[in-house]
Chain A
Amino acid sequence: MSLSKHALTLSVNGSPTEVRAGLHDTLLTVLRDQLQCTAAKRGCNQGVCGACTILVDDRPARACLSLAVNSEGADIRTLEGLNDQPDMRLLQQAFAKAGAFQCGFCTPGMLVSAQALLRGKPAPDAQDVRKALSGNLCRCTGYTRIVSAVLDAAAMIRKEPVAP
């Protein structure tokens, strides 16, 4: 196993950021351990639970399945970098009001996936939400409230159109 590290410049939440990563280091490891971007969570480290979901070039991606050395040149956004966006704020409000989170461990990944869904499909129905979020696991809520929160947020966002 190569332990040598490579100097990389990653674009994280809009800023070019210097990191050092080995060939095997995932984007999740670099984001969490070097940049302390801990909103992305490690739940399974094999791309199943979705707790590490981030945006790479505006598309949801599993940070635990992405290698840091392959991520140069990409626009990488974690929940920390999406918090100020108006549609994310409405999603967060809807989650709070509906009780769409309990422990909150899956929530950052859930919100990133939901925002990506609503940007591509502003008026989804319940089945669309269930399909788009089916790669995000939650063990607390039973999912019902997450679906209603995303539908509520979609309605609010449609009422106050926001520039992405």
Chain B
Amino acid sequence: MISAQNPPASPDTGAERMPPGAVGASVPQLDGDEKLTGQAQFIADLYRPGMLHGAILQSPHAHARIRGYNLRAALALPGVRGIVTGDDLDARHRMGAFIKDEPALAKGKVRYSGEIVAAVAADSESIARQAARLIEVDYDVLPAALDPAKALEPGAPLVHDDAASYVSVFDSGTQGNVCSRTSLVEGDAASAWAQCDVIVQDTYQTQAQAHLSIEPCGALAEIDASGRVTLWSANQSVFRVQANVCESLGLSMTRLRCLTPRIGAGFGNKMEAHVQPAVVLLALKTRKPVKLILSREEDFETVRARHPVTIRMKTGARRDGTLVARETELLLDGGAYGDDSPGVLGYALLMNCGPYNIPHVSAHGRVAYTHKMRFGAFRGFGVPQVTFASEQQIDAIARQLDIDPMAMRRLNIKRDGDRWFGGQGIFSNGLADCLDVVERESGWKAARAARLQPAGDPAPEFRRGMGLAVSAHISGLLATGAIVRMLEDGTVLLSTGAVDIGQGSNTALTQICAQALQVPVDRVAIASPDTDGSPYNWGTTASRITYMTGRSVVAAAAEVEKQLRKHAGAMLECAEDDLELRAGGNIGIKGVPGGGVSFAQISGYAHWAAGGPIIGSNSWVFDQKTVDPKRAVALGLPFGKIGIFSFSAQVIEVEVDTLTGKVRVPRAWTACDIGRAINPTLAIGQVEGALVQGMGFALTEEMVWDGARLANPSLMDYKIPTFAEMPDEQHTFLVESDEPTGPFGAKSVGEIGINTVAAAIGNGIVDAIGTRLHKLPFTSERVLAAMMPQEQA
């Protein structure tokens, strides 16, 4: 087990001490020098010769037909170089990860307040913004569907006139305002309720959460003399940027090269398109480089956010605590465009039981189109929402049966040999160890025995409690590749196409490559993603880079090793079987110490004498089936093969101010089974960051609509956690089960840390004040109202 307090054997910076031990060492992020001196270049920091500046015009209406545009006044403003509107688009061209329903910018209709209606390129940003305000749009305002449940009622205003005609990449069931529907069923829940001694049933509501990467979204497009476009943007996948822009503008992929600057964090918001299509359209129209950076308010209103979900959940158990049945019904507000919503719904249903064995499960859900901004991928991808409901229900059952919540989990969790809901196998599972760790480290038993009277003996109006929650997450999905090239001097260039969004994947992948070839990390350089030169990588999402891309890196490095051995055999005049790869970049003869040939010698030989440059490559697509049809019945599941499983357990101590209702988190303990930690410091950093982002979700963050309009699109009015709200103590533990399919045993860590937070805090509030809340976030007002006796509330 690894923790911040108990670091692994090779701590900190010891890159030079550790060929071959690159894996498992906390190498500082390789781009640290540029990030710590202010030299790292993010999208807003890029400038090109002759560059124009862009600005957007947003819709003031949630739903309106666009009758026409008057651009005369805007075009007459000195310094304005071009304006693009829906008139520049072909109505047949639409983008979408699952359903092709979204134009590059509003075409014919606006579908949410804040939607991009036009974009301007001008000599300066202030001129562009002024010109955008001079554009006149003639709107025919239409009634809007703002509430997802009402949007699905007969007669509701339609968000898309003929949604059923859209191209969908799976059986989405799209029609009317149903964006997608999915169900997954195992056993026979309807008749299993009779076997249950206790049943809990409730409706839970989660809110829209803004990703709030501190860097707002933006893009810079440049066009060459032949009309080919180069596009830099804030992104999580240069390949998804390429696909979205080309689909929405009807371009061949040969006409667009996508690159990435440093990324000022992405939590899902930068995975699919934001302003890239509009910026490419401006470059095509003006034949000049154009940079457009969204303001914070525009970023809030136009990019995307975490889905508000209404969760109806019912769980039954036997008297001894054994779980028997679960029914879940989800309604996601998808907003105006499909984006990643069908994926979020499908994944939330797949994960709705958490890491428990429940024999009878019926899980259904729908995504509703509404006249709101699109909701999409956000760290956790639907799991924080279902876990909020599920882990509170497990806790409620434990309380009703007077079973220790920790014991309740132990009784029901997945163990070796168990299969996931739907039927997929689980190859490594350290969840039981995670529970042991948080139970021991948090002092759970003593606290429970004492009903936790607080350590610091605060004033009596402060009540403390402890909440437990567990979760699982996948790492996997879709296609990835790696190319490992040996340079002429025997050093290594790694190219994967995976965008490092700040979490440190460049560092982890470099460590994996260095370990595979047994060289120090400073002998491996990693290429920046480039659709012209990198192998395809679906994206930095689904907690997939370490596991998926890491596995490709290992395989590509093995290919290089094979070629090295072949050359070394010729150079040393011996059979390849008699050779061994040695730490530090050398191949020698087994049993003969010293000698051998260095990578530099071999690479020189390959470049100048025989065989040509040494290049290893690998491609793969995640290949384990999610659903076993003998076990489960699935309808409209958007992914047939999803990923392998990581696990977590978390205890959060909460303190409730019973006079104000304010909830604070003094201490938290989190244990994650992420397989082998490639870089423990970076891995722990993911869990710590996810905890605090999850605290925002649980306690303060809520996007609020005033009618059709987002009422709080600013950091003044939308509160993310600051240094003031961080826990006084947070203890993170990495439980290293060995994932047999992972690179050096690794699986994922990017998202799992956020899944449990709201549920653990909710359970802690029950422990502190005896009241359970079903609606997020747990603001002071809601906690106070919940504490009041029913007649007063």
Contact = CB atoms under 8 A, between A and B. Distances in A.
A43 B216 contact: yes
B683 to A, nearest CB: 10
A95 B685 CA distance: 13
Interface size class of A (residues with CB under 8 A): 35 or more
A17 interface: no
Interface in B705-744: 714-716, 720-724, 726-727, 730
Nearest to B693: A139
* Max count, chain B CB within 10 A of own CB: residue among A45, A130, A138: A138
Interface string B422-440: 0000000000000000000
Nearest to A78: B38
Contacts of A51: 214
Nearest to B690: A142
A60 B689 CA distance: 26
Interface stretch (A67-75, A102-110, A155-163): A102-110
A105 B714 contact: no
Interface in B252-290: 262-265, 267
A46 interface: yes
B715 A101 contact: no
A40 B37 CA distance: 11
A141 B720 CA distance: 13
Nearest to B692: A142
Interface string A89-116: 0001001111101111111100100000
B171 to A, nearest CB: 36
Contacts of A145: 685, 688
A106 B715 contact: no
Given A38-B38, A43-B296, A142-B693, A103 B215 contact: yes
Contacts of A134: 722-724
Nearest to A24: B126
A125 interface: no
Contacts of B39: 39
Contacts of A61: none
Contacts of B47: 36
A79 B34 CA distance: 12
B586 to A, nearest CB: 30
B265 A105 contact: yes
Contacts of B681: 98-99
A143 B28 contact: no
Nearest to B727: A144
Given A139-B720, A145-B685, A45 B693 contact: no
B502 A102 contact: yes
* Max count, chain B CB within 10 A of own CB: residue among A3, A40, A41, A140: A140
A51 B720 CA distance: 15
Contacts of B685: 99, 102, 140-142, 145
A108 B38 contact: yes
A154 interface: no
Contacts of A129: 723
Interface size class of B (residues with CB under 8 A): 35 or more
A7 interface: no
Given A41-B42, A103-B262, A139 B214 contact: yes
Contacts of B211: 139
A76 interface: no
A63 interface: no
Given A46-B714, A78-B38, A145-B688, A41 B215 contact: yes
A162 B215 CA distance: 33
Contacts of B504: 102
Nearest to B295: A45
Contact of A99 (B26, B37, B126, B130): B26
A51 B693 CA distance: 18
A44 B688 CA distance: 24
B577 interface: no
B771 interface: no
B84 interface: no
B265 A139 contact: yes
Contact of B688 (A32, A101, A106, A144): A144
Given A101-B35, A102-B502, A130-B724, A48 B692 contact: no
B29 interface: yes
Given A97-B13, A142-B688, A102 B503 contact: yes
Contacts of B727: 144
A137 interface: yes
B45 interface: yes
Contact of A79 (B37, B44, B503, B689): B37
A138 B377 CA distance: 20
B197 interface: no
B714 A104 contact: no
Contacts of B721: 143
Contact of B45 (A38, A43, A103): A38
A38 B39 CA distance: 8
B2 to A, nearest CB: 13
Contacts of A97: 12-13, 28
* Max count, chain B CB within 10 A of own CB: residue among A3, A78, A102, A136: A102
A12 interface: no
Contacts of A22: 126
A138 B502 contact: no
Interface in B326-361: none
A46 B295 CA distance: 10
B78 to A, nearest CB: 9
A38 B261 CA distance: 14
A58 interface: no
B264 A103 contact: yes
Contacts of B12: 97
B737 to A, nearest CB: 23
A62 interface: no
B770 interface: no
B195 interface: no
A99 B296 contact: no
B725 to A, nearest CB: 9
Contacts of B18: none
B3 interface: no
Contacts of A141: 685, 688-689, 692
B31 interface: yes
Given A103-B215, A142-B693, A92 B37 contact: yes
Nearest to A1: B130
A41 B730 contact: no
A27 interface: no
Contacts of B34: 104
* Max count, chain B CB within 10 A of own CB: residue among A39, A80, A142: A142
A29 B399 CA distance: 57
Contact of A103 (B130, B265, B726): B265
A158 B35 CA distance: 25
A101 B32 contact: yes
B225 interface: no
A51 B502 CA distance: 16
Nearest to B681: A99
For the complex of A and B, list the 3 residue pairs with the smallest distance between their C-beta atoms, beginning with the closest: A39-B38, A103-B502, A104-B35
16 contacts: A39-B39, A42-B216, A83-B37, A92-B37, A97-B28, A99-B684, A103-B214, A103-B263, A104-B502, A105-B265, A129-B723, A137-B722, A139-B720, A141-B689, A141-B692, A142-B689
Given A139-B689, A142-B730, 12 more contacts: A38-B41, A41-B214, A43-B215, A46-B715, A48-B716, A79-B38, A97-B12, A104-B34, A104-B264, A141-B685, A141-B689, A147-B726
